[in-house]
A = this chain, B = another copy of it.
Amino acid sequence: MKFRIGQIAAWLGGTVEGDEMVEVHTLAKIEEGTPGAITFLANPKYTPFIYQTKASAVIVQEDFKPSETISAALIRVADPYSAFTQLLEMADQAREASLQGIDPRAHVAPTAEIGENVYIGPFVFVGAGVKIGAGAKIHPFVFLGEQCQIGAETTIHAHATIYHYCEIGQKCIIHAGAVIGSDGFGFAPQEDGTLKKIPQTGNVVLADEVEVGANATLDRATMGSTQIQQGVKIDNLVQIAHNVTLGSHSAIAAQTGIAGSTRMGAHCMVGGQVGIVGHLDIADRTQIDAQSGVNKSIKQEGQAFRGSPIQPFRQQLKSEVLFRKLEEMSKRIESLERALAQKES
């Protein structure tokens, strides 16, 4: 799509300096601008680029005073960075909005119920009894197992797998390759040393406004539901085991793993590569630093932890400092021993 910069200035509440009829069709960083691109200048250290840029238009501060000639048209606004971000969002929304209709190459079970304005791309599999809410976007290669429910305005990206009976709320975003509802890792050791599978017959329930990262895995409950409450954000390659509950508006960074039946409170922040063992209770607003290992329940709300196993944040930092000084400590003990031995002799 092409837009005149006069139009764009109007959207952004800015004023044009130059030809309002100039058309742009893409967005770029100022150091990478090409003809037909619109860019922006927010950080003063990038100012030299505005005199060289080949972009057709640049969004600048209201009071920007060029010290040389500029070939691009200017759009003057109060906050160039947020104005540009606004354009980027509009471009993204336009792309998403253009996805419409049910591709005839999708498999849609006759018993599935599809809401209004749903996009179902080519090579989507929609199983028996699936319900998809209005305005949902189901990208190519998504698998929706039997009896799944997908809320209105939810987007599921390519190659995500939603196993049978799982429920996803409204306005969720599921990224490519995420797996929701795979079997929990449950085996009963037998007398002969073999491992007998414990059937995993529950499901996974995501509330509204949950985001799940690429290739993350959320296992179905042994019985009942693995529960992801409203507004939880899960990063790429995270593992959520069976029967876990994640409280509302918590965020879990990449490659973290949470073992079976642990219940995490609301508004928690968990760094990357954290491991949390099973059957714990984690209080609301807990913060866990990256690479930590959580091996006990956390009762008090709003505390920060670090280390494997975790300690309170500041105490762990002290231990880490002294860990790096262990050689010095060891030498000081030796000196003391020598000094004392000398005294004895």
Contact = CB atoms under 8 A, between A and B. Distances in A.
B146 A95 contact: yes
B185 A223 contact: no
Contacts of A315: 324, 327
Nearest to A326: B322
B125 A158 contact: yes
A249 B194 contact: yes
Interface string A131-144: 00000000111010
Count of this chain's copies in the oligomeric assembly = 3
Contact of A179 (B89, B122, B177, B211): B177
A297 interface: no
A201 to B, nearest CB: 4
Given A249-B194, A275-B273, A333-B333, A182 B123 contact: no
Nearest to A209: B194
A323 B323 contact: yes
Nearest to A122: B107
Taking residues whose C-beta sits less than 8 angstroms from the other chain, chain A's interface range is 35 or more
Interface in A143-175: 143, 145-146, 157-159, 161, 163-164, 173, 175
A185 B319 contact: no
Interface stretch (A14-22, A70-78, A228-236): A228-236
A27 B199 CA distance: 14
Interface of A: 27, 29, 32, 84-85, 88-89, 91-92, 95, 105, 107, 121-123, 125, 139-141, 143, 145-146, 157-159, 161, 163-164, 173, 175-177, 179, 182-183, 185, 187, 193-195, 197, 199, 201, 209, 211, 213-215, 217, 219, 223-224, 231, 233, 235-237, 239, 241, 249, 251, 253-255, 257, 259, 266-267, 272-273, 275, 277, 290-291, 293, 308-309, 311, 315, 318-320, 322-327, 329-330, 332-333, 336-337, 339-340, 343
Given A163-B176, A187-B251, 12 more contacts: A29-B223, A123-B141, A157-B182, A237-B237, A237-B255, A254-B259, A259-B290, A275-B290, A323-B323, A329-B329, A333-B333, A336-B336
